[in-house]
Structure 1
């Protein structure tokens, strides 16, 4: 007869966690990554449901769930498939779903197979449930100056809609900056574009590309996302080339109600606010979004990262979520990326069917 010891029980428990998902379910928690792949993760919470999207590269898929940490079990559907040819037929990047003025909108970047032609596009759906109804292509979201543009996001402050995105100042690759413009409706910009952030620190200038036999050093600010807290606005962006392990998050801070079209209204942090963890083996942390727990008491950051060094800017990037807090000076404290496989408590108020 085999003697059952504490060591045996511990070993069996470990094996169950790795090979039996039900064992994890019983723990009432979740582990990162949330999916095996999912670059540029975005989610929105509305009426008790989370709506989630990430870059697939070839279409737009939308997930719907009460438990954002259980994406692998969530209902999902492809809501748009690009045409075979044309300006929005290839390289479908960084989709985001927003609910604005009583309708659903999805913003994304696309091109015709030539990266130099990347622009922003908008879909609209008037249905109460964005997995139902009809998604209508509103067309290109033309940015002032009509330059290369990706990673579009929309936010509202004091009744005014704003578009933020990553773009080029001119026609050449080599530097991506963060721009802002006002919007007169969810699919139309108005006025001029204003540059809020350009790469200026060493941690924003890691990366290079080779084109036509020449090496170009890349200076990158991209993936701008807006986080609101009290009377403060935080524009959190990704810095350096996405295939670098040192891909990280930077931040700008402004006061709600200030002139957001004035660069002087925004104060830029001199250091990254979130970056790779060699200790926890999480690399290339970037392109984030934010959500609250279902009961509205906890703040979470949702971001993508790699589990090994050198995995680059491809499908190895997976979505991860972790809770963050606020410092006394009012800034968010995102902490350090949590290692894969660590059991974390569910966001408070989560209704899970695991």
Structure 2
């Protein structure tokens, strides 16, 4: 099946950092950063394509002051032990250094069957070993353990953020060692900004794969790949292999620029893995790329190499794209 003929991209316009979760009730649940960075919203549909027309329901709004009061970024919705959780990053408008980089990571929870209708409870900040800029958390379960992967700044390491992994005591509390999986060090990870962020986990073929995004959020934004054997000690850094080259990057020939901050889901027939990501269809960005609203949500099927590794190919053209 040709992935470019499977979805009509973009799936959802003006939604960056997209997260799609396929639940056992037959619905796809979608959340993402909204351009105003002021709230958390969820929509659902029985098809991936249908998410673009689905009603966006606001389930939480930023606070007026203090923690969680500005720049609400990169939410993800997860279903863990019978409850729904949204992980997100937020900054403090009253922070002494009121800039983009005072984010911390937070969690809200509901026990509602339908999370669009539930009452969401704030579970607080996810506390890590040190206080610094932190964002883009995701979780995954493996061998009856719950893990947390996130991006955070270490002031002893050059750059904006590295990726870390920890086991969780519960869906809002870390426990045990916290290891650094990767830092921005390769040529394609340090363009504009030194960044490793936006992790997403895909389990397949006896492996645990973690994609992540690197460099500035313009044409240079791209995806890297970490992998580990599913039977290895995931908290041993020696279990992980980092790809030397990006696995998904801009495709000017297809009118796609800066693809990244992805998630994974399954097709409606459950026969295919699906890559969900954002990208722009132009390069002329005025001002800070973070305030350009046109990182649209896109989707395409994932192919698999003979060695069991994912082959993401290139970002496919948007519907109606004509190469000039």
Give the alignment of 1:5-24 within 5 angstroms. none
How much is the aligned-residue C-alpha RMSD, in angstroms?
A: 1.6
Shift of 1:294: 1.8
The CA deviation at 1:195 is 0.5
Residues 1:184 and 2:159 are matched in the alignment:
no
Instruction: Report what 1:194 is aligned to.
Output: 179
Q: Measure the CA separation in 2 of the matches of 1:159 and 1:246.
A: 38
Q: Which moved more, 1:320-329 or 1:333-342?
A: 333-342
1:95 is aligned to 75
In 2, distance between residues paired with 1:233 and 1:163? 13
Question: For 1:171 and 1:92, how far apart are their aligned partners in 2?
Answer: 26
Seen in structure 2, the aligned counterparts of structure 1 residues 29 and 231 have a Cα distance that, compared at 3 Å, is: closer
How far 1:67 moved relative to its partner? 1.3
How many pairs are equivalent? 305
Name stretches of at least 5 consecutive residues in structure 1 with no aligned partner. 1-27, 208-217, 344-354
Q: For the residues of structure 2 that align with 1:42 and 1:257, how far apart are their CA atoms?
A: 27
1:264 corresponds to 2:238 = yes
> Is contact 2:160-2:195 (8 Å) kept?
yes
| Bigger CA radius of gyration | 1
Cα displacement (A) at 1:40: 0.2
1:279 aligns with 2:253: yes
Q: How many Å apart are 1:175 and its aligned residue?
A: 3.2
Task: Give the structure-1-normalised TM-score.
Answer: 0.83
Partner of 2:129: 144
1:67 counterpart residue number:
47
Q: Secondary structure at the match of 1:219?
A: coil
Q: Per-residue CA shift, 1:99-130, capped at 9, x if unaligned?
A: 00110000000011333321000000001111
How many Å apart are 1:147 and its aligned residue? 2.5
CA contact (8 A) 1:144 1:192 kept: no
Provide the rounded CA distance (Å) in 2 between the counterparts of 1:342 and 1:144: 48
Indicate if the aligned counterparts of 2:161 and 2:195 stay in contact, CA closer than 8 A.
yes
User: How far 1:73 moved relative to its partner?
Assistant: 1.5
- Secondary structure at the aligned position of 1:41 is classed as strand
Aligned pairs for 1:151-300 (under 5 A) are 151-170=136-155, 174-207=159-192, 218-242=193-217, 244-300=218-274
Q: Any residues of structure 2 matched to 1:101-116 within 5 Å, and which?
A: 101-113=81-93, 114=98, 115-116=100-101
Distance 2:59 2:33 in 1: 13
How far does residue 191 in structure 1 lie from its aligned partner after superposition? 2.1
Instruction: Give the 3 Å change call, closer, same or farther, for CA 152–177 of structure 1 in structure 2.
Output: same
SS at match of 1:264: helix
Displacement after TM superposition at 1:83 (Å): 1.4
Give the SS at the match of 1:174: coil
How many angstroms does 1:169 deviate by?
1.1
Query: Where does the alignment leave 5 or more consecutive residues of structure 2 unmatched?
Result: none
Rounded Cα–Cα distance in structure 1 between residues aligned with 2:29 and 2:320: 25
